[in-house]
Structure 1
Amino acid sequence: MSRFRIERLVVLPPAEAWRRLTDWPAHGARVPFTRTTVLTPGRDGVGAVFTARTGVGRFGFDDPMEVVRMEPPGPGRTGVCRLVKRGRVVRGRASFEVSGTASGGSRVVWAEELRVRGVPAALDPVLAAAGRYVFGRVLDGLMHD
């Protein structure tokens, strides 16, 4: 299983960092050739389901995800969101954490554990490096718009 973790310190207060991080369509807008569709409109917390479709034309794959834990940050409390990836191609878990800093900003952590069908385990380090790069750019874009 490929694993990666990204951490950023941002100037946004925790509530705003959380709002941006859990704006699922905004994620797709930041990943090349990807569109995110929320399949449970109006449901933002546990049980929300969305799919990230990556590809060009007919060639691509779906990455369906479900929110299994959603606890927004609060005074003295770290916000935690956990997702389960249940696709044919991508399976695994993702998590986001947002906590306040002494300066009034936020510490944001994005972690994933995933398996990509057809990719041998020997390539897990390459997949993790690609994940850190791509999703690091996504996170930076979400936090700095």
Structure 2
Amino acid sequence: MVNFLLERTAPLPLDEAWRRLTEWPRHGEVVPLTRVTVTPPPPTGEGTVVVARTGLGPLAFEDPMEVTVWQPPTEDTPGLCRLEKRGRVVTGWAEIEVRTGPGGRSRVVWREELGVRWLPGFFDPLLARAARHVFGRAANRLLRMP
């Protein structure tokens, strides 16, 4: 199990940064070999299930996540979304926080605890580097996409 933290600053209003990061199917557009489905259909709220299916054909796996905290940002409070990973392969949780940053920009904090069942702890450093790269790239691309 690995923990990592990503921080980004974007020249976007809070609600726009939040929208770009929490329109779940867009994650499938920026993560290679991944398709994302959402149940029930938007709008997202507590209890929404987001399923990321990654891979090709029979070599794919699903990463179902349930939204357990859904607090969109307001003028006075940061936005916070927490997803609990409920899959047979991928475990842990992810939190996306969007708050006011310097100069009226949006500050994004992405925290994640990530585990892969049956993967020995010996591989944790490699998993952490790969996760930071994949999720960091995804966050960058999501914040740039209109």
The TM-score, its normalising length taken from structure 1, stands at: 0.96
Q: Which runs of 5+ in 1 are unaligned?
A: none
C-alpha separation in 1, matches of 2:110 and 2:84: 14
Residue deviations 1:18-55, cap 9 Å, x none? 01111100011111100001121134110100200001
RMSD: 1.0
Partner of 1:78: 78
Q: Which runs of 5+ in 2 are unaligned?
A: none
The TM-score, its normalising length taken from structure 2, stands at: 0.95
> Residue 74 of structure 1: CA displacement?
1.1
Structure 1 contact 76–100 (Cα < 8 Å) conserved: no
C-alpha separation in 2, matches of 1:112 and 1:81: 12
Structure 1 contact 93–113 (Cα < 8 Å) conserved: yes
Structure 1 contact 4–129 (Cα < 8 Å) conserved: no
The aligned amino acid for 2:110 is W
Partner of 1:135: 135
Alignment of 1:17-96 (within 5 A): 17-96=17-96
1:107 alignment partner, SS class: strand
C-alpha separation in 2, matches of 1:7 and 1:50: 23
C-alpha separation in 1, matches of 2:98 and 2:37: 24
Number of aligned pairs? 145
Structure 1 moving runs of 4+ over 4 Å = none
1:127 alignment partner, SS class: helix
Higher mean alpha-carbon deviation, 122-131 vs 77-86, is at 122-131
Residue deviations 1:51-93, cap 9 Å, x none? 0000112211000000000111111311110000010000110
